[in-house]
Structure 1
Amino acid sequence: MKTYDFFAPTRVLFGPGQLHQLHTLPMPGKKAMIVTSNGQSTIRNGSLETTKNELTQAGCAFALFNQVSANPLKETVEQGAQFARDNQCDFVVALGGGSVMDAAKNMAMLASQPTNDLWDFVFTENGKKQNIKNPVLPWIAITTSAGTGSEVDAAGVITNPETKEKIGVGGFEGMFATYAIVDPELMKTVPPKFTAYQGFDALFHSLEGYISNRHNPMADMVQRAAIENIGAYLPRAVTDGSDMEARTAVAFANTMSGYSMDVSACTSEHSMEHAMSAYHPSLPHGAGLIMISVEYFTYWINRHVCDERFIDMAKFLGKTDASDPMDFITALKALQKACGVDDLKMSDYGIEKSEALTLAKNARATMGGLFLCDPAEMPEADCAGIYERSWK
């Protein structure tokens, strides 16, 4: 594809110390709902206090909603939307990782609608497939991790435990953040294994986009930047979280992978992992992607649907002498080993090998749109086979 449609209107403040610039920006409202996770990380690293101080300097009041879990739930988004109404908040500030970003942008969308059922706006068999009726509340993204790129896109992944759906929700007009603050200093305290999980999530956004049938020159550019920076710097960030050069490079890669989703698309690998963590919510998204990645990409290599692109990606990951598509798998395995995530097991999270077909069916039923972005058609049996070969 030589054409593309790239719309990413968020103003991004990138680099160490940028959170301290928040008060200098024109605020999109008078009272913010600050959305954080249900953990203590933003308290321990001081980012919550800094955010409060910045909002106060900007002349804004605020109320805190701190209930978002690692895999954000439909119920939590609905509670947050009601909290915003009850506290008369006219904009949202998301402070946290990708889960907080995903939940907060959907709270901002839902808070201004005449219904408080998020699944009214979901386009699956269990959703009501409605369009929004009122403008979305403005929101500000302050990301404390480098994984999802959610600070620069317009949808968020939400889980509905009742229907076993973990899907992208949103994408409506007005759902891009007004501002995104990408401050690597806020990422210094992310533990090594989660630094790795998040970094690989960002990597797979761009790897998938590069082989998708939606690839284009703009997407190729941001994806290459993401892949090269993660390949070069993620092991360093995992080894030493205070290495600001590495943290900054991985944070940049993450934002580039967010742009990848704006101008291109992920492929079925993401649908497949969402099915895994929909049934097993304790599974971190990045870890699930790592578990299936080698078999997933080997599947496409064996089908020879985009050999040159796999050679490109091997070179982007640092294997400069790559000449065969399988060199990419060699590079991917080496990166996983360097980050200490090469021995992850599905069985450690309660996933049974016998679930393969169930997961394959769920992946296609809930996020079938990403299968349409694959470089070729993937039959259901082939999808199940990838799970089976990945299981240990």
Structure 2
Amino acid sequence: MIAARESVKRLVNALGTVSCRCPGHSSGSAFLNSDASMKKEYAYEVAASNIRYGPGVTKELGMDLKNLGAKKVLLMTDKTIALLPAMKAAIEALHKSSINFEVFEDVRVEPNDHSFQRAIEFAKNGSFDAFVAVGGGSVMDTCKVANLCASNPNADLLDFVNAPIGKGLAITHDLYPLIAVPTTAGTGSETTGTAIFDFTEIKTKTGISSRKLRPTLGLVDPLHTLTMPERKSLLKEILSHALESYTALPYFEREPRPSNPKLRPAYQGSNPISDVWSLHALKVVAKAVQDCEDFEARSEMLLASVFAGIGFGNAGCHLCHGMSYPIAGNVQSYKAKDYPTDHAIVPHGLSVVLTAPAVFEFTYAMCPDRHLETAEILGADIRNKKQKDAGKILSDQLRRIMQDLNVDDGLNSIGYSREDIPKLVKGTLPQERVTKLAPRAQTEEDLSNLFEKSLKCY
């Protein structure tokens, strides 16, 4: 009997060494292997908001709130969206179902901790039991945080902000229902449990990630794409979300493994289910770069944003996002076109894409096949190309796409110089929620080199 047990043990260990190493299969043998492997993750969990898609679906908003038993609703937007048809459609739907509601339209485009606090105070003082966000990522993220703190009056915003900037506490209380009505494509925030903001004290972005933050329902209405900015200006963020989630550290390499499944983070690393959504989003982006500005193309891009949101909302993003936070947080005077704001702003999509060519040339060696695959989807000819060239091929293709999209030529063009690199590195270091999901670990020197290479893209 002892000999039989030893034979089985040897067989299991042998299988662990030779079995398939792909994300869909390798974790099982790792789980059965040595004690050291017990520190690493062995499972992943995929979650997303319920999504309802269809032209005119916003008219169902009031009925949804009534079905949820809502007594008093906070309808949140920004001052620009407040004047657009999407907001009119939402208000009409609430009136039609006799929903009691109040409007908060003081959302800041690219929110910061101060604008979050204004929304939190409004929500706490209103005794709301349901929330609606009509707008882009800034509105949806602000609404998530207002809901988080209003549903637990003793909570402080920094309790839940990702460590080491905040305490990084798990959200354990139940939130009120939240319905998101996206009016633009890019963030995918209607699907995710993430809320991002500028932390003014340290001049960098940070955020909160938890499945508890996910909207109860996303009403994805393509009619709202008719008032979106130029479609091409919105592709940058979808592109980054899809690329980063597909090339993120595999989930079974992430550690530590949570002691309780409720502690498993929202961002878990690349996994077979997220891969499907990320790759499909990337294919839509590749087609959209060439497509004309018609309703069908805009609708496809709105769906691509949802696809990418489901992908990165579970796999996570990595270096482009980690480096983007101090880029946005330290902006001095740059004001993006098509953004009607009275303050300097580097839009999120722009801040993430400017470092992409340098980042993917840095990360390729850890998963060259995935870098080549995505380069081909985006239009690169990879016939007879070698894996050692994967980083350059993807980076060159990204530069071509960025030029097609009229993206600013590197960090220099938005007001940064070589002298700013140390503070950009300093702002990146605390972003462990995303930087640790990069397939390749990075030092301060690595980050300095990546920012240096991103000063000019073309």
Q: Does structure 1 residue 336 correspond to structure 2 residue 376?
A: no
AA at the equivalent of 2:400: A
AA at the equivalent of 1:60: I
Q: How far apart, CA to CA, are the structure 1 residues paired with 2:49 and 2:234?
A: 22
Kindly tell me: are residues 363 and 32 of structure 1, through their superposed partners in 2, closer, same or farther at Cα, counting changes over 3 Å? Answer: same
Partner of residue 136, structure 2: 97
Q: How far apart, CA to CA, are the structure 1 residues paired with 2:216 and 2:381?
A: 39
Partner of residue 71, structure 1: 110
Partner of residue 76 from structure 2, selected from 35, 57, 62: 35
Partner of residue 160 from structure 1, selected from 183, 186, 199: 199
Q: How far apart, CA to CA, are the structure 2 residues paired with 1:96 and 1:162?
A: 27
Partner of residue 452, structure 2: 388
Query: Residues 1-392 of structure 1: matches in 2 within 5 Å?
Result: 1-2=23-24, 5-25=44-64, 26-37=67-78, 39-43=79-83, 45-115=84-154, 117-132=156-171, 134-171=173-210, 174-192=212-230, 195-213=231-249, 214-236=269-291, 240=293, 243-280=294-331, 282-301=345-364, 304-319=365-380, 321-324=382-385, 325=390, 326-341=392-407, 343-365=408-430, 367-392=431-456
> Contact 2:134–2:181 (CA<8 Å) still a contact in 1?
yes
Shift of 1:74: 1.5
Q: How far apart, CA to CA, are the structure 2 residues paired with 1:322 and 1:32?
A: 56
AA at the equivalent of 1:333: R
Q: How far apart, CA to CA, are the structure 1 residues paired with 2:54 and 2:409?
A: 32
> Contact 1:141–1:179 (CA<8 Å) still a contact in 2?
yes
Q: How far apart, CA to CA, are the structure 2 residues paired with 1:96 and 1:135?
A: 24
Deviation per residue, 1:152-188 (Å, 9 max, x gap): 11121012202324112141x5321111011222122
Shift of 1:90: 1.2
Q: How far apart, CA to CA, are the structure 2 residues paired with 1:16 and 1:30?
A: 27
Alpha-carbon RMSD across the aligned residues, in angstroms, is 2.1
CA radius of gyration, larger in: 2
Q: How far apart, CA to CA, are the structure 1 residues paired with 2:383 and 2:222?
A: 32
Q: How far apart, CA to CA, are the structure 1 residues paired with 2:137 and 2:48?
A: 19
> Contact 2:162–2:209 (CA<8 Å) still a contact in 1?
no
Q: How far apart, CA to CA, are the structure 2 residues paired with 1:120 and 1:216?
A: 29
> Contact 2:232–2:405 (CA<8 Å) still a contact in 1?
yes
Q: How far apart, CA to CA, are the structure 1 residues paired with 2:104 and 2:383?
A: 49
Shift of 1:235: 4.3
Bigger Cα displacement from structure 2, 273-282 vs 16-25? 16-25
SS at match of 1:174: helix
Q: How far apart, CA to CA, are the structure 2 residues paired with 1:123 and 1:290?
A: 23
Unaligned runs of 5+ in 2: 1-22, 28-42, 250-268, 332-343
> Contact 1:30–1:59 (CA<8 Å) still a contact in 2?
no
AA at the equivalent of 1:34: L
Shift of 1:234: 3.9
Bigger Cα displacement from structure 2, 181-190 vs 343-352? 343-352
Q: How far apart, CA to CA, are the structure 2 residues paired with 1:223 and 1:170?
A: 19
Q: How far apart, CA to CA, are the structure 2 residues paired with 1:222 and 1:53?
A: 34
> How many correspondences in the alignment?
379
Partner of residue 11, structure 2: none
Kindly tell me: are residues 204 and 129 of structure 1, through their superposed partners in 2, closer, same or farther at Cα, counting changes over 3 Å? Answer: closer
